[in-house]
Amino acid sequence: MRKKIVAGNWKMNTTLAEGVELAKGITEQINDISKGVSLIVAPPFTHLAIIAQMLKGTPVAVSAQNCADQPKGAFTGEVSAAMLKSVGCTYTILGHSERREYYGETSEKLVKKMALAFENGLKVIFCVGEKLEERNEGNHFDVVAAQISEVLFGLEPQQMKNVIVAYEPVWAIGTGVTATDEQAQEMHSYIRKTLAAHFGEEIADETSILYGGSCKPSNAKKLSSCPDIDGGLIGGASLKAEDFIAIAKAW
């Protein structure tokens, strides 16, 4: 049985004090969540060491939002996978559409980042998703298939055990417009078939595929009832402990 996972991507939000408060709020309500659902939070880099320390021994895992495509050295402003591991992260998000769009994150870079994440014992939340014009042109399946094949198809099958896929249609991120449960399920099922064609049914069946894009307490139940939607990657609504917990309760 694949895992159900609800992850909070805090993006560039919260001061350290606010982030600590948010993490505290989540742990205080953790007992409300079904034991079958795993929680992950992805605070900004500056908060990771402290929040990982706080959450040690709780069921909430800590993720970074990105990592460098180089192991170490003269790369001013970058944060390596080894550094993330050393402060208690167990995951990193890679390939978020905001990284792809604003920071030139290509599949080529993502291949390097993923290799470094694995070398350092991090698991990866790998994001894919089409832009509005790509969906309007009917290219959404091809775009997502290319994002998957360019990065994930280079992995060994057993490395897929350390990958969570997040489908995040760009037009739904932070816009308040959520994909309908039919649109999301259709793409999740397509992603699973794409993984199955390359890695085999067993690995595809075990891979958790999360939905992201304006997921909130009011629409989480519908999304969670879809057979191929194994959880959520939550942006805006993860900044309020109650909303994040309410979404997690839906799964």
Q: Is 108 known to be catalytic?
A: no
Q: Identify which of 207, 244, 200 has the alpha carbon closest to the alpha carbon of residue 229.
A: 207
Displacement of CA 106 from its chain's centroid (Å): 17
61 counts as binding ligand PGA under rule CB under 6 A: no
Say which residues have a Cβ less than 8 Å from residue 217's Cβ, sequence separation at least 6: 237, 243, 246, 247, 250
223 counts as binding ligand PGA under rule CB under 6 A: no
> Which one from 96, 98, 130, 188 is the annotated catalytic residue?
96
Binding test (CB under 6 A) with ligand PGA, winner from 95, 169, 212, 231: 212
Binding to ligand PGA in span 168-187, by CB under 6 A? 168, 173-174
Q: Identify which of 196, 107, 187 has the alpha carbon closest to the alpha carbon of residue 157.
A: 196
The minimum distance between CB 218 and ligand PGA, in angstroms, equals 13
Nearer to ligand PGA, 22 or 203 (CB): 22
Say which residues have a Cβ less than 8 Å from residue 105's Cβ, sequence separation at least 6: 95, 96, 99
235 counts as binding ligand PGA under rule CB under 6 A: yes
Binding test (CB under 6 A) with ligand PGA, winner from 151, 179, 203, 234: 234
User: In DSSP terms, which residues pair with 166 in a beta bridge?
Assistant: 127, 210
214 counts as binding ligand PGA under rule CB under 6 A: yes
**How many residues line the site for ligand PGA (CB under 6 A)?**
13
CB 206 within 8 A of CB 247: no
Can you state the angle between helices 48-55 and 16-28, rounded to 10 degrees? Answer: 20
- Which of helix, strand or coil describes residue 9? strand
Binding test (CB under 6 A) with ligand PGA, winner from 236, 244, 246, 248: 236
215 counts as binding ligand PGA under rule CB under 6 A: yes
The minimum distance between CB 202 and ligand PGA, in angstroms, equals 28
Q: Is 168 known to be catalytic?
A: yes
Residues classed as catalytic: 96, 168
Residues of this chain that interact with ligand PGA (CB under 6 A) are: 9, 168, 173-174, 212-215, 233-237
